Structure 1
Amino acid sequence: MVKNRHIWTLLEEYLALFPAVGIIGPRQVGKTTLVKNINLNKERIYLDLEKASDRAKLNDAELFLKAHVDKTIILDEIQMMPELFTELRSLIDEKREAGRFIILGSASPELIRSSADSLAGRIGYLELTPFHIAEIEEENLDQLWIRGGFPLSFLANSERASQLWRENFIKTYIERDLGLLGLNTDPYLVERFWRMLAHAQGGLLVSENFAKALGISRPSVNKYLEFLKGSFMVRLLHPYFPNVKKRLVASPKVYIRDSGILHSLAGIGTYEDLINQLLVGHSWEGFVIEQICNALGKRYEYYFYRTHQGAECDLILVNSGQVKFAIEIKNTLSPKVGKGFRISLEDTQAEKGILIYRGKESYPLEKNILVMGLWEFIQTLKPNNPPNN
């Protein structure tokens, strides 16, 4: 499935354009597999910066990299040696040639901004997400929802194997990976916080509530959240503020990005377990939002809309300052339009209202409101060229 990954075509284009290409995304999402399968015009050298032996080769980075100036150098887990960014800048400025360096990282540019700024104008970043709806067959949609999109979870040969992989991923992430990314704190607190976020899926983020429950300060909660967000585990969806004279909700909504990780954090193992949980509606909502964001990428800005008077819309898609779609997400086969959604359409002046439900058939429900399945909505909007996430 490597060549089906949504950034494959863009990666080839970036390698022909930028001296350095950065591929970011969570651990175990397939970054290394992707770059090892890409066709390059010259010999490659792969260095895993988590290995002491590979880091040792870069003790004199300038000497090593200049000795291989005619090759593409792949630096995996770049956050282990962020000091390399300054060296790469100098080498690129001496010989500005496309495709010289491929940088892989499990931390977003925000977490390594102080170093990444060194390559401004010299690097193009792409985000590799877990598998999403535009990369799978329609009949596997429920499997994607239950297991999530991490390749070893989604492709596991049984539900039990998928569940065991996710449980171990969470354990390793908390006990090891966050520390490597720079969050040195009590793993038990981070685990409690992450599980609390899972049960708060789709709710408004109120840091004070988490701080009180965990017995820590609000700045500590925000610090944990930034690391989870920066390492692609959590998405914050911010409210949309049109020019209307209404009291609007100001807090963002919080989501565990991968539905499989969400289910494991909440102790849900199978589809039968999920449909009997109160979390099921919020799980479906978060899954739909993540699939839309990942499949459509930067072509839209993403928000939700809510007023204190009761108007509410789960997802707003904005392009060039105009609300193109106001989306309500329903975990049902018989969706109905609520008053709050109608008001949201008026307030935001959305071009079209969409109710995304669990079914497949599409049909008009009211004037300017269309019922659609998630698969068809994505296929309708998905462009021919993959999005830059």
Structure 2
Amino acid sequence: MLPRRLTPRIHDLLDHSPAVVLLGPRQAGKTTLALEIGERSPSIYLDLEDENDRARLSDPSRYLAGHDRELVILDEVHRMPELFQQLRGIIDRGRRQGKANGRFLLLGSAAMDLLKQSGESLAGRISYSELGPFDALEIGPDQLETLWVRGGFPRSFLAESDEVSLTWRRNFIRTYLERDIPQFGPRIPAETLRRFWTMLAHNQAQALNAANLASALGVDGKTVARYLDLLVDLLLVRRLPAWNRNAGKRLVRSPKVYVRDSGIAHALLGIRDKEALLGHPVAGQTWESFVIETLITAAPEGTEAHYYRTSNGTGLDLLLTLPGGAFWAVEVTRSMAPKLERGFHSACADLNPHKRFCAYPGPDRYPLADRTEAIGILELAKELRAAG
């Protein structure tokens, strides 16, 4: 396993909070990271998908009282939502006895359900962090294109061959559709949801057209919204909102939607390896999505991400508003000789960002026109991380 750059942050949160929630899609490495963190001090691990571990918590207060000097790691905690109310009392009793922080590390795969359940019961007692698949800052620069092709799920990225990687991703998709997703809401036919997921992969980095998707699936717009909400909630799809603060322009309002892991997108589209990807019409779109996801992941906590598009086509691929108010504009290109289009200049004139970048695959950094720098993806990700 590669070291995860989130590890120091989880340690820090545990030092300052009674409970920490680690969110992330299944198979992203949450359990591995949690067990490594548990090695720092006495700990106990319970997998709430295991009947025996759930049985231990039939009386949570009594069982956990016997482990009040240990870090308790609860995996797939959304399987026992009734537990959050019990944890509140346990944490409050521990505070009165001087056991304030580092009590619980809770792992979950469904963001909105888990945030709602924990937020209602553990307000003021809990911190949150998100662990995604491997990102560009966790690998070597020579593996960037492998990360794009295979995606960052550990068993896919580290597979011994492209074929083994693709087989893993196909099984991952099948398992999510047939076993995992039915746990999180009303029954959705697996084949229908696969078609929807695949349509999103075909339209990577494109503005959402819910009417077209609904027509293709033979459902109504509300059903499309429900499918999309589910995949966003499971941290498999990202909705990138449109910038809407410039009242003097006619702006595109629909969000851009993309499959967050490029390797999963490629598996949905049947793309086997890099050669097949480079000859596929969606290559430019998945590259743009890959770069945007890389930069959002690298950005400081609290950064707001948007894209900008006017009705006449003026646009920017990514706008990042950093916590201190700094405003960065990013255009993404796959070309090794980046050039700025007229729409980029017009968008910058509209918005006047503090920094302007053209992110490209190369290693060099140099100035372009209009106070814009060409910059490699990894270097821009590192600059964003340092800005925090």
Give the corresponding residue for 2:20: 21
Counterpart residue number, 1:208: 211
Instruction: Specify the SS of the correspondent of 1:196.
Output: helix
Map of 1:268 onto structure 2: 271
Matched, 1:339 2:337: no
Q: How does 1:226-237 map to 2 (within 5 A)?
A: 226-237=229-240
The question of 1:359 aligning with 2:362 is answered: yes
> What is residue 54 of structure 1 aligned with on the other side?
53
- What are the within-5 Å matches in structure 2 for residues 1-389 of structure 1? 1=1, 4-39=3-38, 42-96=41-95, 97-110=100-113, 112-320=115-323, 322=325, 324-383=327-386
For structure 2, the residue ranges without an aligned partner over 5 or more in a row are none
Divergent runs of 4+, >3 A: 39-42, 109-112, 320-323
* C-alpha separation in 2, matches of 1:33 and 1:53: 20
TM-score relative to the length of structure 1: 0.95
1:154-210: CA deviations, max 9, x gaps?
Answer: 111111111110000000011111112224211111111100110011111122221
CA contact (8 A) 2:300 2:323 kept: no
TM-score norm. by structure 2 comes to: 0.95
Tell me how far apart the structure 1 counterparts of residues 283 and 39 of structure 2 sit (CA, whole Å): 44
Q: Which stretch has the larger CA shift, 251-260 or 344-353?
A: 344-353
Identity %: 43
Asked whether the 8 Å contact 2:302–2:323 carries over to 1, the reply is no
Q: Secondary structure of 2:299's match?
A: helix
Aligned 8 A contact 2:332 2:360 in 1: yes
Q: Which whole-Å CA distance do the structure 2 matches of 1:74 and 1:367 have between them?
A: 51
Distance, in Å, in 2 between the alignment partners of 1:332 and 1:183 is 44
Contact kept? 1:322, 1:350, Cα under 8 Å: no
- Report if the CA contact (8 A) 1:202-1:282 is conserved: yes
CA distance 1:40–1:168, shift in 2 (3 Å)? closer
RMSD, aligned α-carbons: 1.7
Q: State the distance in 1 between where 2:171 and 2:52 align.
A: 26
Paired AA for residue 81 in structure 2: P
**Cα distance in 1 for residues equivalent to 2:117 and 2:72:** 22
SS of 2:318's partner is strand
1:38 partner SS: helix
Match of 1:152, SS state, is: helix
- CA offset at residue 334 of structure 1? 2.0
Give, as a single letter, the amino acid of the residue that structure 2 aligns with 1:214.
L
SS state at 2:301 partner: helix
Q: Distance in 2 between matches of 1:244 and 1:321?
A: 23
Gaps of 5+ in 1: none
- Give the Cα separation in 2 of the matches to 1:345 and 1:52: 56
Give aligned pairs, total.
384
Q: Deviation of residue 348 (structure 1)?
A: 1.1
The CA deviation at 1:244 is 4.1
Q: Alignment partner of 1:16: what SS?
A: helix
Instruction: Classify 1:297/1:146 alpha carbon distance in 2 versus 1 (closer, same or farther; 3 Å).
Output: farther
Any idea what the Cα deviations from partners look like across 1:210-233, whole Å, max 9, x if unmatched?
111111122211111111001110
